[in-house]
Chains A and B, each alone.
Chain A
Amino acid sequence: MKKQKFKVDKHILTPKHLKLGEREKAQLLEKYNVTSKELPKILKIDAAIKELDVKPGDIVKIVRKSQTAGDAVFYRVVADV
């Protein structure tokens, strides 16, 4: 059987993952008045962010396709395993 290459980010269940820059990160924490430790986590080895080149402490912006709101934005902080 021949094999094909599979890209995780193209699957219908996987929403778009984007890495936030340092400035955007500061703005986000300021806007919601939180520290990055209080954000939900995503593991560094998570399949969806393998190609994003992130290190622990970075914030990943996730744009979900929501049934109720259209696009819903969510943030997760990269955590060590």
Chain B
Amino acid sequence: MADIISEYEDKLPAKIIGDIKNSIPKGISDSKLKKIMEAVYGEYKTAKVHPGESVGLIAAESIGEPGTQMTLNTFHFAGVAEMNVTLGLPRIIEILDGRKELDNPMMEIYLKKPYASGKKIEDLRHLALQIRETKLKDISTEFTISIADFTIEVKLDREKMKEIDVTTGKVVDSISKQLKGYNIRDNRESLILKARSKEDSFNESYKTKEKIKEITIKGIKGVKQVLPVKREEEFVIITAGSNLADVLQLEEVDAYRTTTNNIFEIEQVLGIEAARQAIVNEIFKVIESQGLNVDVRHIMLVADTMCVSGTLKGITRYGVVSEKSSVLARASFETPIKHIINAALVGEVDNLNSVVENVMINQPVPIGTGLPSLAVKLQKAAKEK
């Protein structure tokens, strides 16, 4: 029995073979199994996409048509804290354009055992605070510049420091790490910063004052908000702001399930294949949340196209479209004059291998029945005679 099934392993997808294995009755005779496999294989062959089918066009229609029914707004996240999520059409456009800066970057941080169960709420809260970025301006009440000697005085808020569990020493440490050329003195009430170089001006001090406000004292850079949420049986931390590379380093985090909605970041940290999977997941999530129904295969095709070149390319005139070999195809998308002029300047040749350019010059397009043509290997044919 096993060898009859294994015969089809190359011909059928693994999932179909698994389905057959699960549904055939025990002790089935070899001849019947053979018949079943043949019938399944026949069905599978008829379900396959034909060579020359314009799958891209079908994918575009299949995603575009339900797209007209999607919301055009950004919604607030249901929860205690105010958090925005981009949904519907704006989000789809954001993904397909391959944007590096998202409107609402978010992470879903899964946690390891003792934290995920949520039994020790105190620990979970503590961890969440460790992840959220705290800037110097969040734990200080006042920044002043002394005009007499150009020193900057930072008054610290003791209560807030206690809340997030940092000491003055730590604050001094992180400032001196991120700001070079300044001496820091701690006089209980506040921190006094003085430039080491003697040529100092009010302007310079003012610039530094603005700069130190943004210094990260604690937490992960870029994470603006944290929100622990119960999902099924475990607690997950959802964040506004994303920094995947740094979060995955944390010991308490289940790094292998933690993700972000910033696909560009996924490409950097996890590679191009992970980015492709993330595109599929993110688009599918949006379409599903809007109550629409689009086959994943269309989305997979788009995701594949965006990732063919090894780096993430959006479907814009700078991304996927700029990779097209045909001048006319590029010109038909956006900024036609620019493309035609540039092509004329360098003497580009258009081989008319694809669809758009052939439509333009009124020729049969190489899809469907227009694709096949006769080919004879002349040399080989002559030799055989």
B278 at the interface (CB under 8 A from A): yes
Tell me the minimal C-beta distance from A26 to chain B in angstroms.
18
A19 at the interface (CB under 8 A from B): no
Give the size category of A's interface with B.
20 to 34
A34 at the interface (CB under 8 A from B): no
B130 at the interface (CB under 8 A from A): yes
* B interface: dominant SS: helix
A1 to B300, CA, bound (A): 39
B168 at the interface (CB under 8 A from A): no
B residues in contact with A79, CB < 8 Å: 310
A residues in contact with B253, CB < 8 Å: 4
Residue of B with least CB distance to A49: B271
Residue of B with least CB distance to A4: B251
B309 at the interface (CB under 8 A from A): yes
A1 contacts B130, CB within 8 Å? yes
Interface members, chain B 177-232 (any A CB < 8 Å): none
B249 contacts A13, CB within 8 Å? no
Given contacts A11-B270, A41-B308, A79-B310, contact A6 B255 (CB under 8 A): yes
A48 contacts B15, CB within 8 Å? no
B269 at the interface (CB under 8 A from A): yes
B251 contacts A1, CB within 8 Å? yes
A42 to B271, CA, bound (A): 9
B residues in contact with A13, CB < 8 Å: 259, 266, 270, 274, 277-278, 281
Residue of B with least CB distance to A8: B270
B255 contacts A11, CB within 8 Å? yes
A residues in contact with B257, CB < 8 Å: 11-12
A17 at the interface (CB under 8 A from B): yes
B310 contacts A42, CB within 8 Å? yes
A49 to B270, CA, bound (A): 10
B109 at the interface (CB under 8 A from A): no
A residues in contact with B273, CB < 8 Å: 14-15, 17, 42, 48, 62, 64, 74
A2 at the interface (CB under 8 A from B): yes
A4 contacts B250, CB within 8 Å? yes
Q: Mark A37-81, 1 if CB is under 8 A from B, else 0.
A: 000111100111100000000000010101111111010100100
A23 at the interface (CB under 8 A from B): no
B18 at the interface (CB under 8 A from A): yes
A residues in contact with B271, CB < 8 Å: 8, 14, 17, 42, 46-49
B268 at the interface (CB under 8 A from A): yes
Q: How many residues of B contact A (CB 8 A)?
A: 36
B274 contacts A3, CB within 8 Å? no
B residues in contact with A1, CB < 8 Å: 130, 250-251
Q: Mark A1-34, 1 if CB is under 8 A from B, else 0.
A: 1111010101111110100000000000000000
B296 at the interface (CB under 8 A from A): yes
B307 at the interface (CB under 8 A from A): yes
Q: Mark B259-285, 1 if CB is under 8 A from A, else 0.
A: 100000010111111100110010000
B residues in contact with A14, CB < 8 Å: 270-271, 273-274, 277
B62 at the interface (CB under 8 A from A): no
A residues in contact with B18, CB < 8 Å: 70
A72 contacts B13, CB within 8 Å? yes
**What are 28 A-B contacts defined by CB distance under 8 Å?**
A8-B269, A11-B257, A11-B270, A11-B274, A14-B270, A14-B271, A14-B273, A15-B273, A17-B271, A40-B304, A40-B308, A40-B310, A41-B308, A41-B309, A42-B272, A43-B311, A46-B272, A47-B274, A48-B270, A49-B271, A64-B273, A66-B15, A68-B13, A69-B15, A70-B13, A71-B13, A76-B272, A79-B310
Extra pairs beyond A41-B309, A46-B310, A70-B18 (12, CB < 8 Å): A1-B251, A6-B248, A6-B249, A8-B271, A11-B274, A13-B259, A13-B277, A14-B273, A42-B273, A49-B271, A70-B16, A76-B310
